[in-house]
Amino acid sequence: MSEEVLARVVREHAGRLTASLVSLLGDFAAAEDLVQDAIETALRRWPAEGVPERPDAWLFTVARRRGLDVLRRESNYRAKLARLARPEPAAADDRLRLVFTCCHPALSRAAQIALTLRVVCGLSTTQIAAAFLVPESTVAQRITRAKRKIGEAGIPYRVPSQEELPDRLGEVLAVIYLLFNEGYLSSTAERAHARDLVDDAEWLAALLVNLMPKEPETAGLLALIRLHRARGAARFDAEGRLVLLADQDRGLWDRQAIEEATRLLTRAARAHRRPGPYQVQAAIVACHAEAAGFADTDWAQILVLYDMLLHLAPSPVTRLHRAVAVRYTQGPEAALAELENLGAPLERHALFHATHASLLRDLGRREQARRADERALELTANPAQQALLEQRLRWD
């Protein structure tokens, strides 16, 4: 049995089991400990014994037995764990509460991400550490600290009220989006064996769409992730080098996935008429994905969408992306003018310097272009981006 299959089964059940144990025990940290233990047992035994017919019941039984063991040894857990005497897990899907607890704004972003991966997706500390290239002890400490804070600071285990929801949902979507970005940008050949965070991000977004069907931004984020993934095969060439959008072989794009994601986005946008940053970003990616060739890109439409995105969520990075749309609608001179005020806020942003370089090159200012590319090269740690920039500098 492949590790991928195991990971998928675990992810399908880990969050559900944690959610029902938190409900049962009223103790987040204790529930999480039991689930991690059950998952470790599963990962040890399933490769040899096969996945049981009802993995949820199997995991619950292991967690329950483990809980009863602890109960015998530790008296302070007694009252809570005694509730495990009831043999059946709660039936309802409580994972939404779990997600909102893990992404509570009183936890740091790094803690939110680690906790969500571990508690909702069932990743081990080792897997999380490997995915983010940080020491295992750092992740373990982050999780322990977050669990303590949840218990001691009184972070509630519930879905936020209607009035809190927009902000709180924003936190959850930001965590999933960061997870996606981390996985997407670092998906180079060297890390092919690392846990596919993109997969986890898509799974989480899909879970949220199912649990919160009335929130169009969840569908927007899911569509955004799927639209990016649909073009994944064309992002790297045979040697594992990054291929820019303009040079990608669009025959490699998954047309069916693009159509489905676009439909998901359109449906959500029409049904709710509440545009948000994720829906607009997905619409921009859809515009690119629908163009038969780079020359067919509807830049005018993309520019309108970027204006909308800036109105919804102003940020210098969005203004940088908008400048690229300006390049193709009004020319490099106009785009360069757009970059003028971005130099200060994006001084340490590799993409700013790389974009600056290509605009300067378009205008024949080669020496300045070289310097901007060199600056971009200094600032990126991503091997695929480094290779692309080095190549550009060599050809120049």
Q: Interface residues with another protein (CB under 8 A)?
A: 105-108, 111, 145, 148-149, 152-153
CA distance linking residue 278 with residue 275, whole number of Å: 8
Nearest residue (CB) to another protein, 110 versus 379: 110
Residue 253, H or E segment: none
Query: Would you state the structure tokens that stand for residue 238, as one six-digit string?
Result: 């045979």
Tell me whether residue 154 or residue 364 sits nearer to another protein (CB atom): 154
Which residue has 């199912």 as its token pair?
210
Taking the complex as a whole, the smallest distance from the CB of residue 157 to another protein amounts, in Å, to 16
User: Considering the complex, what minimum distance in angstroms separates the CB of residue 146 from another protein?
Assistant: 9
Is residue 363 exposed (0-12), middle (13-18) or buried (19+ Cβ within 10 Å)?
Answer: middle
Burial (0-12, 13-18, 19+ Cβ within 10 Å), 386: middle
CA dihedral over 25, 27, 28, 34, signed as positive or negative: negative
8 Å CB contact between 150 and 104: yes
Taking the least distance from each CB to another protein, the nearer of 47 and 170 is 170
Residue 340 φ then ψ, to 5°:
-50, -50
Residues whose CB falls within 8 Å of the CB of residue 379, separated by 6 or more in sequence, listed in order? 348, 349, 350, 353
Q: Decide whether 233 or 317 has the Cβ nearer to another protein.
A: 317
Q: For another protein, which is the closer residue by CB, 41 or 138?
A: 138
> Between residues 106 and 334, which has the closer beta carbon with respect to another protein?
106
Q: Cα-Cα-Cα-Cα dihedral of 114, 116, 117, 123, to 10°?
A: 100
Min. distance of Cβ 139 from another protein in angstroms? 16
- Residue 317: CB minimum distance to another protein, A: 18
Measured from the CB atom, the residue of 95 and 147 that comes closer to another protein is 147
Shortest CB 195 distance to another protein, Å? 25
Give the nearer residue to another protein in terms of CB position, either 118 or 327.
118
Q: How far is the CB of 152 from another protein (least distance, A)?
A: 5
Buried/exposed 254-282: b ≥16 CB within 10 Å, e otherwise? beebbeebbebbbebbeebeebbbbbbbb
- The full length of the chain comes to 396
Q: Smallest distance, Å, CB 107 to another protein?
A: 5
Query: Which residue type sits at 378?
Result: E
Minimum distance from residue 348 beta carbon to another protein (Å): 22
Question: What are the backbone dihedrals phi and psi of residue 238, each rounded to the nearest 5 degrees, phi first?
Answer: -60, -30
| Closest approach of another protein to the CB of residue 175, in Å | 14
Please identify, using beta-carbon distances, which residue of 149 and 191 lies nearer to another protein: 149
Task: Report the b/e string of 222-236 with b at 16+ CB within 10 A.
Answer: bbbbbbbbbbeebbb
